[in-house]
Structure 1
């Protein structure tokens, strides 16, 4: 049985000139999720990310070194989607207002070719990774909420509304676990963030 852990990146720099940089909290989230994975005895044979800085930085902060890169693990352009689909955006620096705008844009996007292409690339990357791991292999992928949502949409048979709902609750540095064996590929857990409860509850963030 092959195992893949999809780890969402730590908190990026929302509202800054360059979003694609981990915030100080994001770096700490990366360290904590790395500690949690090691506590669970996760010893990856392969470590991957997309080409985005926030994904690579989370892998490094987690203590797994520089990951291999595959652009298919990159997030969709969330800012571009809001602009393209004309969703009302009251304040680009207000996380709540932006989330409302993004949800509206995603509802339109998931019905078109853009989402199908994005989802197809993500799931092709997952299938290739699982095939390369072979029986008993383990991989860590540091990626983004939309990518993880696309995987869940496929494995759970969700529609576009399901993708939007899953994407909305994705936690920074949350852990999603996938197994693959003779019976196929299955989602075991989604968005696990127990490592941000108790003493680390102030580090639970969504955006």
Structure 2
């Protein structure tokens, strides 16, 4: 039996032009997660991370607690997030950049909460793939690369594997293991907390996977740290 831990990155810098960077709170979340994760992992064999900056930054706090050479470190862009800015731009060109989104909110007098419906409409268009809109990466392409990356580690034999990734890949793999239709993808994606842990058990002989826990974040869900729970 082996265990795969899928870790969502800490809070990104949603208010910055460079989204792909942990915010100060994201760094704090990652620091809190690291010792907790180390205590959970038994026979650590491999650490995998996407090549996005927020994956590296989140993983660094965990890796710093380990003895040098105690686990193989792999970088695989197959674990990267979907390009939400490209998806929004395909829906409405004005939404390509954070500055454009801000201007759109102001012009339409929308709150950030109300903008959620716009984002979900853009995601639905991407997921359905029924329009003539072209994307840098389609839903089908995204699905293929993430599941291929998951297959790369699924049959690694005995030993625990920790993967630092984003909400999209975690939601896709969860949907895949539960046999959910793609329409349910965003239901999971929208609920994942930053620095949350999803645990998958793998039968080393058959390769069969069982979703053991989803979005576990008990270290944040106590009075002293509950204000550090975020979803971006």
TM-score normalized by structure 1? 0.90
C-alpha deviation, 1:160, in angstroms:
2.3
What residue number does 1:200 align with? 225
After superposing the two structures, state which structure 1 stretch, 177-186 or 13-22, moved more: 177-186
1-structure distance, mates of 2:119, 2:8: 18
Identify which of 151, 164, 185 aligns with 2:186.
Answer: 164
Partners of 1:59 and 1:67 within 8 A in 2? no
- Partner SS, residue 57 of structure 2: helix
Alpha-carbon contact 2:4-2:160 (below 8 Å) kept: yes
SS of the residue 1:62 aligns to: helix
Q: Write the mapping of 1:18-33 to structure 2, written as runs, cut at 5 A.
A: 18-33=18-33
Whichever of the two has the greater Rg, that structure is 2
- The answer as to 2:69 corresponding to 1:44 is no
Question: Which residue of the partner structure matches residue 179 of structure 1?
Answer: 201
Residues 1:145 and 2:167 are matched in the alignment: yes
Structure 1 residue 41 displacement after superposition: 4.2
Alignment of 1:109 with 2:126, yes or no, is yes
Offset of residue 167 of structure 1 = 0.6
RMSD of aligned alpha carbons:
2.3
Taking the aligned partners of 1:147 and 1:7, their CA distance within structure 2 comes to 10
Distance in 2, Cα, partners of 1:146 & 1:162: 12
- Give the corresponding residue for 1:190: 214
CA shift, 1:86, in A, is 3.0
State the distance in 1 between where 2:42 and 2:91 align.
Answer: 41
Answer yes or no: is the 8 Å Cα contact 1:28–1:61 preserved in 2. no
Q: Deviations over 1:38-67 (max 9, x none)?
A: 232444211111110001100002345794
Q: Which moved more, 1:136-145 or 1:63-72?
A: 63-72
Aligned residues: 205
C-alpha contact (below 8 Å) 1:91/1:97 kept by paired residues: no
Q: Secondary structure of 2:209's partner?
A: strand
In 2, Cα distance between equivalents of 1:163 and 1:101 = 16
Name the CA distance, whole Å, in 2 between partners of 1:67 and 1:38: 15
TM-score scaled by length of structure 2: 0.81
| Greater CA drift, 105-114 or 170-179 | 105-114
Measured in 1, the distance between the counterparts of 2:77 and 2:199 equals: 21
Q: Unaligned stretches of 5+ in structure 1?
A: none
Q: 2:38 touches 2:62 (CA, 8 Å); kept in 1?
A: no
Partner of 1:155: 177
Give the conservation status (yes or no) of the 8 Å contact 1:72–1:121. yes
* Counterpart-to-counterpart distance in 2, 1:186 and 1:137: 16
Distance 2:80 2:165 in 1: 7
Residue aligned with 2:164, SS:
strand
